[in-house]
Amino acid sequence: MAGATTLSDLASAIGFRTEEASVVAELKAGSEAAFSWLIAHYNQPVYSLVYRVLEDPSDAADTTQEVFLKVFRGIKSFNADSSLKTWIYRIALHEASNRRRWWFRHKFRETSIEADSEREEGSRLSAMKDTLVDEGKSPLQNVFEDELRERVETELRALPEPYRTTVILRDVEELSYEQIAEVMQISMGTVKSRLVRGREALRKRLERHLPAFGMEAGESRENRRRSGPVGGREVEVLP
């Protein structure tokens, strides 16, 4: 059975690489249909990644457009040393980081505290409504879970770099260690080290919120091992 599974996984991987190579060839040839597929397939993941770096929906939308413009301009130089997905994510992180640096240098000075507060609150509500709310649950459950998710998101944003990006890529975007290493252009060992330290820092930050949700820091691992879903996926807060 294990052998069959391995062969099946291998066949799927080969099929995926063949399909990706075909898409890349179409993109390099200037196919509008291929670019439409690319945007439809990657727009939401790229936006989600960029939004978590910038925390502003307008800036995230503008940066996402810039990412695909860079992809359009640079696709002919793509040499398949990495997968198309990790190449796009690498561009996305680079553009988001540049945008964030620009914001701190310029935009922050031009924006009032009140405007920032209103925009941040609106962006949080919009993000939660669009991506996290399960309409099938009761209003009380939704309120409770929204508050829990928001606190996890807040503490995740507060993590220092590069640990925050590493945790986001692994626990939210679900990239493999290999893909993260390619995106961030670091070694596998560095990925694992940053992930351990990032998760531990997040766990410590989340511990102070446990009493508000009827949990105590001394509870068992089984009762506390999950902090709640972030971006549609549960994030483990204990190592």
Q: Where in the chain are the domains?
A: 27-131, 147-239
Are 190 and 131 in contact by the 8 Å Cβ rule? The answer is: no
Look at the domain 147-239 and name its fold. Answer: Arc Repressor Mutant, subunit A (1.10.10)
**Tokens 């680079």 found at:** 94
Q: Tell me how far apart the alpha carbons of residues 58 and 70 are, in angstroms, rounded to a whole number.
A: 19
Architecture of the domain whose range is 27-131: Orthogonal Bundle (1.10)
Tens of pLDDT, residue by residue over 95-142, are 998 888 876 666 555 544 444 555 555 555 455 445 444 445 555 556
Q: Which residue positions in the chain have pLDDT lower than 70? A: 1-18, 103-144, 212-239
How many CA atoms does the CB half-sphere of 98 hold within 13 Å? Answer: 11
pTM above threshold 0.75: no
What per-residue confidence (pLDDT) applies to 68?
93
- DSSP for the chain, written as a single string: -HHHHHHHHHHHHHHHHHHHHHHHHHHHTT-HHHHHHHHHHHHHHHHHHHHHHH--HHHHHHHHHHHHHHHHHHGGG--SSS-HHHHHHHHHHHHHHHHHHHIIIIIHHHS-HHHHHHHHHHHHHHHHHHHT--TTS-HHHHHHHHHHHHHHHHHHHHSPTTHHHHHIIIIIS---HHHHHHHHT--HHHHHHHHHHHHHHHHHHHHTTGGGGT--TTS-HHHHSEEEEETTEEEE---
Q: Tell me how far apart the alpha carbons of residues 131 and 238 are, in angstroms, rounded to a whole number.
A: 25
Q: By three-state DSSP, how is residue 152 classified? A: helix
